[in-house]
Structure 1
């Protein structure tokens, strides 16, 4: 195993990477974090989530959230990459092929030795990004893909187990990678908490009860494709 891996973290939204992988990113300066959904809608609107975050409309929300993301990742010595896709709340979700093409270009530019992707829990945006990453993994079998458990959805009862069963039926094996035990040093924990605090608008929307579950242990799953007649039929 390489002593200094080059990490690329694929993040659905502007906070998911730090919520789910902040300790890991802190331990690997120079990590590239590629966030998929960072564009405002084609026509301005105001959604419930944006209003809960303190914004008057989507244009203000995405402009501010991009700035928060750059601040947060700067505290972790990570490099942000913002793809200009629109998330589900703006009623303009992209298709998987478009995501795969954009992520493929990102991988080519970043040249990572490992790609971190969402496990794909609950939220339609997370599931969509995970599907694109799985397709990309089949195109690039030489690069290890590791799935992180999506915070905060991983706390929903049974959601992780259901997703792992679904992946198994589709022919993907998921094993906990012992080499990715995250160093929970006090320094890294302070760095992650400071980065989370930079997402001020999102913390406002989560509220006190929601914020209590955001800082939790990080868990990762090494993914690989299992070729068999049964998995091929389920794919």
Structure 2
């Protein structure tokens, strides 16, 4: 990859979010870093409804299996996995926004990335938490190129994308429709195929969503370039 090419760092709330939302983009950018925020098991063994739907009998079994699924998916896309020691909302031990932002900023700073992708933070509490942390970091790392990706599946909730764009404007963050890369060395058909292979690696999560409820992951990926502007009036 040339020095002028985007060196991607994608912030993924859960193991599957970066691939579900940005898999075709990842296919076009080998060696992109995918940083999964909520990658740690709970300290105490527990059993949740989502893990049960996914086919697991315990949280630790779920995290072990989901890590393996993520390894397989990112291998398909030649992406580099990074994992943070935080627990997702279902395990009732969510980090504060400040703590999450500090850890994310340090991880980004240590990387060689010049292009950051964060979730729009739609609908799901964990996605919202990651979005808030990224918004805290963005003004301090505004020398990097920032994009937000529309969270696959969650973006289907009516009105959530529009509400988030309005929220960004109130924060003084300008969101413009854009793509992180204008040219691709891999054609669209191949990128689509690689994404589908990667998505299929997340067997447990596809099982939990149900066969008729994850079609959106194969719809067009959508991105918004972010820049710090003037804070909107309330």
TM-score clears 0.5: yes
Q: How does 1:195-234 map to 2 (within 5 A)?
A: 195-228=198-231, 230=232
Using the size of structure 1 for normalisation, the TM-score is: 0.93
Q: What is the 5 A alignment of 1:19-168?
A: 19-168=20-169
Per-residue deviation, 1:181: 5.4
Q: Which consecutive unaligned segments of at least 5 residues does structure 2 have? A: none
The yes-or-no answer on 1:12 pairing with 2:13 is yes
d(CA) in 2 for partners of 1:182, 1:133: 27
> Are the aligned partners of 1:40 and 1:86 in contact in 2 as well (CA < 8 Å)?
yes
Distance 1:137 1:36 in 2: 17
TM-score (norm 2): 0.94
CA root-mean-square deviation: 1.7
What SS does the corresponding residue of 1:77 show, helix, strand or coil? coil
Shift of 1:179: 5.6
Q: CA deviation at 1:139?
A: 1.1
Q: Where does structure 1 lack aligned partners over 5 or more consecutive residues?
A: none
Q: Separation in 2 of the partners of 1:69 and 1:19? A: 11
Pairwise CA distance, 1:76:
0.2
Q: Is the alpha carbon distance of 1:101 and 1:178 closer, same or farther for their aligned partners in structure 2, counting shifts above 3 Å? A: closer
Structure-2 separation of matches of 1:169 and 1:4:
31
Give yes or no for contact 1:182–1:218 (8 Å, CA) kept in 2: no
Distance 1:93 1:16 in 2: 18
Q: Quick check: 1:37–1:84 contact (8 Å CA) kept in 2?
A: yes
Check the 8 A contact 1:85/1:94 in 2, yes or no.
yes
Aligned counterparts of 2:12 and 2:140: Cα–Cα separation in 1: 20
Tell me, in whole angstroms, the C-alpha distance in 2 between the residues paired with 1:10 and 1:58. Answer: 22
For residues 86-109 of structure 1, what are the alpha-carbon distances to aligned partners after superposition, in whole Å with 9 as ceiling and x for unaligned?
A: 010001110011111211121122
Give the distance between the partners of 1:179 and 1:148, measured in 2 at CA: 10
C-alpha distance in structure 1 between counterparts of 2:168 and 2:84, whole Å: 26
Shift of 1:180: 3.8
- Cα contact 1:24–1:182 (8 A) shared by 2: no
1:11–1:108 CA distance, 2 compared to 1 (3 A): same
In the alignment, the residues of structure 1 paired with residue 178 and residue 210 of structure 2 have an alpha-carbon distance, to the nearest angstrom, of: 33
The residue matched to 1:34 in structure 2 has which SS? strand
Q: How many residues align?
A: 231
The secondary structure found in structure 2 opposite 1:208 is coil
Q: Any idea what the Cα deviations from partners look like across 1:143-197, whole Å, max 9, x if unmatched? A: 1110000011111111100111111122211001256458661111110000001
